[in-house]
Amino acid sequence: MKLLHTSDWHLGRSLYGRKRYDEFKGFLDWLMMTIREHSIDALLVSGDIFDTGTPSNRAQELYYQFLSQVFRSDCRHVVITAGNHDSPTFLDAPKTLLRHQNIHVVGGVGASSEDEVLVLKDAKGQPELIVCAVPYLRDRDIRLSEAGESMEDKAQKLVMGVKKHYNQVCRAAVSLRDSQSHPLPIVAMGHLFTAGGDTIKEDGVRDLYVGSLGHVGADIFPSEIDYLALGHLHIPQKAGGLDHFRYSGSPLPMSFGEANHQKIVLEVDFEETRLEIRELPVPRFQELQRIRGNLDNLIQVITRLKETGSNAWLEIECFEDVGTGLLQETVKSLIEGTGMEIIRTGNSGMVFRILGQEAPTETLNDLSEEDVFVRCMEAKEVPEIHRPELLGAFREVLASLNEQDVQAE
């Protein structure tokens, strides 16, 4: 049986206000072609289908058009689980209708562990795979808060809650497997942050729960899992160094910082007891180029791109103290008549001079919400002894805001 593992589509996401629907459509068209060419039996999508809990009509149209194409193909099953960016109730709303097309959607935690266990059948109607379709586990799903808890206590409870949930779902899967006349592989899905996972600062990946203390180790997952299809981290990677625990990563670069990353989807092939995992490179549907340096450096790089016929979107950051008008005029004249577009221009040299700082090392775009909160504590001269507790409370409030399901009512 051949599976295709992908995640973190973030349909509807923009880049500095620039809509990216053509890129999303390009990816989904390519994904459909890949499903056909590789004779994929089941598609697994591990969360963050949309970039927001209230996706635009255009994003929804792309989603449903793609699902209708898969239904008309030879791919027998689609399993979709919610991520932290998704609204569980929004994804779940059409699940009954989609189930008749063998499209299985799990937006939120079920009433029982069995609700997250799926048996996928072959063309003859015989069971061939068990899927533990675990969605993003929200704090309220896995932890009961108690008065007087420290941040470390909360983080430990979260990790233990995740472990308990996977153990319960996998026990139900094993029980189901043992009732079959022949052994079936067990695949689990998840949307979470494993300890040691690779990220880059501006990729939009949020720390879940109460910050990095809530990262889970790969050892919390039951040993019965034959393949773990993870989402949330945008860089393709193994979890805990295990070959069969994988993040597929996002199919599109979510920021200019990911511009040079090779994006992939994962083909997972079960042949009896043998497991083969292949990385399928995703084409680049829009070239992105981040260009930083003094004015002469910027001119040289843009000129080289122009000579190659590039149609790149550009993020330009000038570290030299030149006037904004001169910078804008220079770079616009360089790309005139080309397919290149300037998406963002920054003049940090001038900004840092105005602010009285010596080195143009960062802008507000480089800072996370937590970075800003820490700077505020420093600016207000909050005593060091109180900062860990305040930071922990801030993380908890931020996680709670990010987990609100605005579509629920």
Q: Contacts from 293-298 at CB under 8 Å and sequence distance 24+?
A: 293/318, 293/319, 294/318, 294/319, 294/320, 294/349, 295/320, 295/322, 295/327, 295/330, 298/330, 298/331
pLDDT, tens digit only, all 409 positions of the chain: 999 999 999 999 999 999 999 999 999 999 999 999 999 999 999 999 999 999 999 999 999 999 999 999 999 999 999 999 999 999 999 999 999 999 999 999 988 999 999 999 998 999 999 999 999 998 888 876 666 677 677 778 888 899 999 999 999 999 999 998 888 999 999 999 987 777 776 655 655 554 445 578 899 999 999 999 999 999 999 999 999 999 999 999 999 989 889 999 999 999 876 899 999 999 999 999 999 999 999 999 999 999 999 999 999 998 887 776 788 899 999 999 999 999 998 876 555 444 444 444 555 656 677 888 888 888 888 899 888 888 888 877 777 776 676 666 5
pLDDT in the model for residue 342: 94
- Domains in the chain (CATH in brackets) are 2-281 (3.60.21.10), 287-363 (3.30.160.720)
pLDDT in the model for residue 189: 98
pTM of the model: 0.85
pLDDT in the model for residue 146: 66
pLDDT in the model for residue 183: 87
pLDDT in the model for residue 271: 84
pLDDT in the model for residue 368: 72
pLDDT in the model for residue 359: 46
3-class SS string, the chain: CEEEEECCCCECCCECCECCHHHHHHHHHHHHHHHHHCCCCEEEEECCCECCCCCCHHHHHHHHHHHHHHHCCCCCEEEEECCCCCCHHHHHCCHHHHHCCCEEEECCCCCCHHHHEEEEECCCCCEEEEEEECCCCCHHHHCCCCCCCCHHHHHHHHHHHHHHHHHHHHHHHHHHHHCCCCCCCEEEEEECCECCCCCCCCCCCCCCCCCHHHCECHHHCCCCCCEEEEECCCCCEEECCEEEEEECCCCCCCCHHHCCCCCEEEEEEEECCEEEEEEEECCCCCCEEEEEECHHHHHHHHHHHHHCCCCCEEEEEECCCCCHHHHHHHHHHHHCCCCCEEEEEEEHHHHHHHCCCCCCCCCHHHCCHHHHHHHHHHHCCCCHHHHHHHHHHHHHHHHHHHHCCCCCC
pLDDT in the model for residue 365: 59
Q: Are strands 103-106 and 313-318 parallel, antiparallel or unpaired?
A: unpaired
